[in-house]
Chain A
Amino acid sequence: MDNLFDDTETTFETKQLTVSLGPQHPATHGVLRLDLDLNGETVVKCTPYVGYLHRGIEKLGENKTYFAALPLSDRLDYISSMNNNVGYVNAVEKLFGIEAPERAKFIRTMVAEMGRLSSHIVWLGTHVLDIGATTPFLLAMTAREKILDLFEILCGARLTVSYPRIGGVRNDISQQFLDELYAFVLDFPSRMDDYETLVTENRIWKERTVDVGIISAEEAINWGLTGGTLRGSGVDYDVRKYAPYDAYDKVDFKVPVGVKGDCYDRYLVRVGEMREANKIIQQCIENLPAGPVMAEAPKFTLPPKDLVMKDMEHLIHQFILITKGPTVAEGEVYVGTEVPKGELGFYFISDGTGKPYRMRVRAPSFVHASVMPRLCEGGLLADVIANIGTIDIVLGECDR
Chain B
Amino acid sequence: MEPLKIADEIKEQFPDEVLDIREFRGQVAVTVKKARIVELCRYLHDEPSLFFDFPADLFGIDYLGKKENRFAVAYNLYSIRHRHRIVLKAEVAEASPVIDSVLPVWAGVNWHERECFDLFGITFTGHPDLRRILLPEGWEGYPLRKDYPLKGPGPDQEWPGFVDVLDRAEQYKKYEWHG
Contacts and interface: CB of A to CB of B under 8 A. Distances in A.
Contacts of B119: 58
Interface in B105-142: 106-112, 115, 119, 132-136
A318 interface: no
A345 B25 contact: no
A367 B25 contact: no
A347 B80 contact: no
B53 A222 contact: yes
Contact of B136 (A51, A331, A367): A51
B85 A334 contact: yes
B38 interface: no
Interface string A215-241: 000110111110000000001010000
Contacts of B150: 59-60, 63
Contacts of A59: 143-144, 148, 150
B159 interface: no
Q: How many B residues touch the partner, as a band?
A: 35 or more
B111 A222 contact: no
B55 interface: yes
A362 B53 contact: no
A343 B76 CA distance: 13
A224 B108 contact: yes
A223 B108 contact: yes
A296 interface: no
A224 B109 contact: yes
A332 B56 contact: no
Name B's interface SS.
Answer: mixed
B110 A345 contact: no
A336 B80 contact: no
Given A56-B143, A242-B83, A224 B24 contact: no
B54 interface: yes
B73 to A, nearest CB: 12
Contacts of A60: 150
B153 to A, nearest CB: 13
B38 to A, nearest CB: 16
Contacts of B111: 366-367, 369-370
Contacts of B29: 332
Nearest to B133: A51
Contacts of B56: 224, 334, 336, 343, 345, 362
A299 interface: no
B27 interface: yes
Given A51-B136, A333-B25, A222 B61 contact: no
Contacts of A219: 107
B111 to A, nearest CB: 4
B50 interface: no
Contacts of B134: 50-51, 54, 399-400
Nearest to B66: A351
Interface string B39-72: 0000000000000011111010110001000000
Contacts of B133: 50-51
A221 B25 contact: no
Interface in A43-72: 50-51, 54, 56, 58-60, 63
B24 A370 contact: no
A314 interface: no
A221 B57 contact: no
Nearest to B150: A63
Most buried by A among B55, B56, B66, B87: B56
Contacts of A58: 119, 144
12 contacts: A95-B25, A222-B55, A222-B107, A223-B107, A224-B54, A224-B55, A224-B106, A334-B76, A334-B85, A347-B74, A358-B61, A366-B111
Given A50-B133, A332-B27, A399-B134, 18 more contacts: A56-B143, A59-B144, A60-B150, A221-B53, A223-B107, A224-B107, A224-B108, A235-B80, A237-B54, A331-B22, A333-B25, A334-B56, A334-B57, A334-B87, A347-B76, A358-B62, A367-B112, A370-B108
